Amino acid sequence: MVDTHAMTLIKSGRLVTAERSFEADILIDGETIWAIGANLEKAGVEIDEIIDATGKLILPGGIDPHVHLDLPMFDTVSSDDHYTGHRAAAFGGTTTVMDFVPQPENGSLAEGVAEWHAKADHKAAIDFSFHMNITRLDAAIEAEIPKLLDLGIPTLKVFTAYNGRLRLQDGEIFRVMQIARQHGMLTMLHAENGDVIECLVAEAVAEGQKDPIWHAKTRPAWGAVESVLRACALAAQADAPLYIVHLNTAGGAEMLRYARERGAPVMGETCPQYLFFSDEELEREDGAKWICSPPMRTRTDQEGLWNSLAADQIQVLGTDHCPFFYDGTTPIEYEGQLVAIPGKELGADDFTKIPNGLPGVGDRLPILWSYGVGSGKITENQFVALTSTNPAKIFGLYPQKGALRPRADADLVIWDPVKRLNYGVQYSRHRTDYNLFEGWPLTGYPEKVFLRGKLIVDGDRWLGQAGEGRFLKRKAGAPLL
Whether residue 134 contacts residue 168, with contact meaning beta carbons closer than 8 Å, is answered with: yes
**Residue 291 belongs to some domain of the structure:** yes
Amino acid code (one letter) for 237: Q
For residue 456, the SS3 value is: strand
Based on the fold, state whether residues 88 and 49 are members of the same structural domain.
no
pTM: 0.97
Based on the fold, state whether residues 347 and 203 are members of the same structural domain.
yes
**Residue 311 belongs to some domain of the structure:** yes
Based on the fold, state whether residues 20 and 103 are members of the same structural domain.
no
**Predicted local confidence at residue 43, as pLDDT:** 78
**Predicted local confidence at residue 5, as pLDDT:** 73
**Residue 478 belongs to some domain of the structure:** no
Q: Which CATH number covers residue 45?
A: 2.30.40.10
For residue 187, the SS3 value is: strand
Based on the fold, state whether residues 86 and 147 are members of the same structural domain.
yes
Distances (CA, A) of 447 to 7, 10, 131, 408: 20, 13, 30, 21
Number of alpha carbons in the 13 Å side-chain half-sphere of residue 313: 20
Angle formed at CA 315 by CA 291 and CA 159, multiple of 5 degrees:
50
Per-position pLDDT tens, the chain of length 481: 445 578 999 999 999 999 999 999 999 999 999 999 999 998 788 999 999 999 999 999 999 999 999 999 999 999 999 999 999 999 999 999 999 999 999 899 999 999 999 999 999 999 999 999 999 999 999 999 999 999 999 999 999 999 999 999 999 999 999 999 999 999 999 999 999 999 999 999 999 999 999 999 999 999 999 999 999 999 999 999 999 999 999 999 999 999 999 999 999 999 999 999 999 999 999 999 999 999 999 999 999 999 999 999 999 999 999 999 999 999 999 999 999 999 999 999 999 999 999 999 999 999 999 999 999 999 999 999 999 999 999 999 999 999 999 999 999 999 999 999 999 999 999 999 999 999 999 999 999 999 999 999 999 999 999 999 999 999 999 999 9
**Predicted local confidence at residue 4, as pLDDT:** 57
Based on the fold, state whether residues 248 and 315 are members of the same structural domain.
yes
**Residue 471 belongs to some domain of the structure:** no
What is the Cα–Cα distance from 382 to 471, expressed in whole angstroms? 27
Return phi, psi of residue 92, to 5°. Answer: -90, 5
Based on the fold, state whether residues 66 and 55 are members of the same structural domain.
no
Specify burial of residue 57 (Cβ count, 10 A radius: 0-12, 13-18, 19+).
Answer: buried
Strands of 127-133's sheet in order across? 62-67, 94-101, 127-133, 155-159, 186-190, 242-244, 266-270, 316-317
Whether residue 449 contacts residue 456, with contact meaning beta carbons closer than 8 Å, is answered with: yes
**Residue 199 belongs to some domain of the structure:** yes
Give one DSSP letter per residue of 95-127, joined into a string.
EEEEEEEPPPSSS-HHHHHHHHHHHHTTT--SE
Size of the chain in residues:
481
Based on the fold, state whether residues 75 and 51 are members of the same structural domain.
no
Structural domain count, the chain: 2
Residue span of the structural domain in which 176 resides? 61-388
**Residue 285 belongs to some domain of the structure:** yes
Based on the fold, state whether residues 408 and 372 are members of the same structural domain.
no
**Residue 480 belongs to some domain of the structure:** no
Nearest to 89 by CA among 317, 320, 424, 428: 428
**Predicted local confidence at residue 278, as pLDDT:** 97
Based on the fold, state whether residues 76 and 54 are members of the same structural domain.
no
Distances (CA, A) of 199 to 193, 218, 229, 304, 367: 10, 8, 21, 28, 36
Question: Prior bond to 294 cis, omega within 30?
Answer: yes
Q: Which CATH number covers residue 112?
A: 3.20.20.140
Based on the fold, state whether residues 154 and 43 are members of the same structural domain.
no
What is the Cα–Cα distance from 349 to 140, expressed in whole angstroms? 42
What is the Cα–Cα distance from 150 to 133, expressed in whole angstroms? 16
End-to-end CA distance of the chain: 35
Based on the fold, state whether residues 317 and 383 are members of the same structural domain.
yes
Based on the fold, state whether residues 408 and 367 are members of the same structural domain.
no
**Predicted local confidence at residue 1, as pLDDT:** 46
**Residue 473 belongs to some domain of the structure:** no
